[in-house]
Structure formats: structure tokens, C-alpha cells
Amino acid sequence: MPTKDYYKILGVEKTATADEIKSAYRRLAKQYHPDLHPGDNAAAEKFKEVNEAYSVVGDPDKRGKYDRGEMDMGAGGAGFNPFGGGAGGFTATGFDDIFDMFSDAFGFGGKTRRRSSQAAVGSDITYQIELTFMESILGCTKPITFSRLEKCPTCHGTGAKDEAHLKTCDKCGGSGQVRHVQNTIFGQQITVGACDKCGGTGKIVTETCKACGGKGVITKNKVINVTIPAGVENGSVLQLTGEGNAPRSGNGRNGNLLLEFSVKPSALFRREGYNLYVTVPVSYLTAVCGGQIEVPAPDGVFVHNLPEGTSNGETLRFRGKGIRTPRGAVGDLFVTVSVEVPKGITRGQKKALEQFESDNSLKNYSKRRAFLDEIAKTYPQK
């Protein structure tokens, strides 16, 4: 059985109508609202209790269960917790209409809402830059052309024809902010917001600037040389602070220019982090006898002496020969040897190879030798 008499808490009869319960709840909730009793724990407790009671008997379904003694009144009561979020914030949990009422009356988080006094900030511009793979790993400087909003040079962002046509706003007195005082049952409620007459600028334009049509900004084509650091990746973004649009209402900070890189893949290199991977096809003779191979690297092609007897698929690692970033990250270069089996050889070349094979016994082929030994072991001759 429930231990709390919710009807008693709300001060109504068990037979009260839904409307009677609702108005009793509203009256009590206002009476004990924490905003009217700062620091008063007893009032806060009472407020909670009233809310809990209403969460049950204010809901026809729950009220029925409560009346029949079917409500589980264990820990957490009926599961109502209007203070769920903690940190002093009210979290409306299924109490939309009632909490709308409160949020209208109080505002979440305080009675006075202040307009942020931050200056206007222009919007960001995203610009796609195509880079070759080598440009991306080495870095480069590129001129880029884009259009952005800039402060109108004729009116200096005011939007007015001249100083004489720029008056101080009579509604806000030039502050750009107005206070709204509302009389509510809780007392006076004061909100501060942007002045609707001047749009928060504090100034009224009586004749607009012809150059910008009163907007305070004009669209301009801009060419800038962008220095792209070494090591940027496909899809990465470089932010150029303050190179974006000017704010539409004239003065304030510019937005940013966001350069998004689209890197074309390389036919030579594959990249993983700052490491580079390259496959070098090697002739049959070079693999067998050793010799010089050309290895592509970020700073050019270098020659490497391949030792004799290098197998297909062997990988060589060159430390520090990968991508180097201005921030000091250094990757490695991994070179995989791909021994190419010659095709379309002449009769004479074939003869020479047969000569080579007949001169060579199995001792030159360690893997083949081991393989044949394994076959012999796996399939013993009867």
C-alpha cells in the first residue's frame, strides 16, 4: 500500500476532479517553487512532494492504480524526479504542459535571461583544394580564389549612406538591448534582449548605403596564397582563422576559411599515417645476382644496392624516408621487392636458362628443397 497520501499533499478530496487536482497542483507548485525560496530546503522538499503527488494523481492511469493500491511506492516513489539533471537545472520528465508553464514564467536557470554580449561573428567558408599526392606529402603554396563577404568600404559596415543618416536608436538609446518587464504572479520578471527596432546595433539607418544596399557587407573575390604544410591527408581540413565571411550586420569578427583537401591517389605510393609503401619491380637477374634498383621517395629517387638472392615479396625498411611534417613527425619508407618473371623470351634466352638450371642443383633453392623434403615425409614411398 502507498505510504503517502497524495490527495492530502495536494489538499484535495479523493473524489476531486482532474481540473481540481490540476489547479491545486498549480497553486502549490507556485507557492513552493524554489525560485521563490532560494536556499529554503523545506520549501524545496515540499515542492518535490507536491510534484511527486501530482505525477501520480494528475495522471488518470496512475491515479487509478494508486487508488486501487497497485502503485509500487518503493525507492524513488512513483519514479518521478523533476530534478533529474542535478546542477540546479529543471528537467521536465513527462510534464510538458506544467513545465512549459514554469519555463515561461521563470526561464530555465534564472529569472533574468541576458543576451550574450559577444560581438557578431561571420560565417565560415569551406573551400575544396585538390592536391596531387606529392603536393600533399611535401606541402606546397597555392593561390586560391574565392568570394566572401567583406565589410562595405563605403559605409564601413554601418549600412548608412553617411554619418548624417545614422541615428542613435531611440528605443534602446544606442545600447542595442532592451529590458522587458513582465508582471507575473511571481513578481516582476525582467528579460534583456536584442532591441527589435535596431536589430541590436543601437543605430537606425535613415538612408541606406548605395554600395551595399544597406547590408553593411559586399561580396568580394579574394585571392590568397595558401601555404599547405607537408603531410596533409585526403579529407583533412586546414583552418585559416579570420579569412571567412564578415558578419552580415557590418561589424564584428570574420568567420574562418576552412580548406578541405582532396588528395589524388598516387600510382607509386600508398600511405599509412606518415609511412609510405612502394612496390619496386625487380628483374629476375637483379633478384638472383643483386644490383641497383631505383627507389622513389618524397625527396626524389635514390639508388639502392639490392643484395644477391633477394626473394620476391621481401620488404626493406628505410627509416625516416617517409613523410616529414613541419611538426617533426617522421615516417618510414617500406619498399617491397616484386621479382618480375620475364615473359616472351627468345629461344636463345631459353637455352641459356636451361643451361643455368642444369648447372644448378637443388642446393641453391632452400625453400624448394625443404618443400620436397616435406612432400617425401608426408607421402612415404611404399
* Binding interface with Zn ion (CB under 5 A): 152, 154-155, 169, 171-172, 195, 197-198, 209, 211-212
Residue 249 CB, nearest approach to Zn ion (Å): 12
Would you say 175 or 234 has its CB closer to Zn ion?
175
Residue 253 CB, nearest approach to Zn ion (Å): 19
Would you say 212 or 287 has its CB closer to Zn ion?
212
Would you say 130 or 207 has its CB closer to Zn ion?
207
Residue 116 CB, nearest approach to Zn ion (Å): 17
C-alpha closest to that of 246 among 219, 208, 211: 219
Contact predicate 293/303, CB 8 Å:
yes
Residue 157 CB, nearest approach to Zn ion (Å): 7
Residue 172 CB, nearest approach to Zn ion (Å): 3
Q: What is the DSSP letter of 150?
A: E
C-alpha closest to that of 310 among 338, 333, 332: 338
Would you say 21 or 209 has its CB closer to Zn ion?
209
Residue 254 identity: N
C-alpha closest to that of 319 among 310, 306, 330, 309: 330
Cβ partners under 8 Å of residue 75, min gap 6: none
Residue 197 CB, nearest approach to Zn ion (Å): 5
Would you say 212 or 306 has its CB closer to Zn ion?
212
Q: Please give the Cα distance from 11 to 54 (Å, whole number).
A: 11
Half-sphere exposure of 154 (CA within 13 A, CB side): 15
Q: Please give the Cα distance from 257 to 243 (Å, whole number).
A: 5
Q: Please give the Cα distance from 81 to 180 (Å, whole number).
A: 32
Residue 152 CB, nearest approach to Zn ion (Å): 3
Q: What is the DSSP letter of 229?
A: P
Q: Please give the Cα distance from 45 to 9 (Å, whole number).
A: 12
Would you say 250 or 322 has its CB closer to Zn ion?
250
Residue 191 CB, nearest approach to Zn ion (Å): 15
Residue 137 identity: I
Contact predicate 306/290, CB 8 Å:
yes
Report residue 230 as a C-alpha cell: 607537408
Residue 155 CB, nearest approach to Zn ion (Å): 3
Would you say 170 or 308 has its CB closer to Zn ion?
170
Q: Please give the Cα distance from 142 to 240 (Å, whole number).
A: 14
Determine which helix (DSSP H) or strand (DSSP E) holds 144, and give its type and residue range.
strand 140-151
Would you say 210 or 270 has its CB closer to Zn ion?
210
Contact predicate 137/276, CB 8 Å:
yes
Would you say 75 or 119 has its CB closer to Zn ion?
119
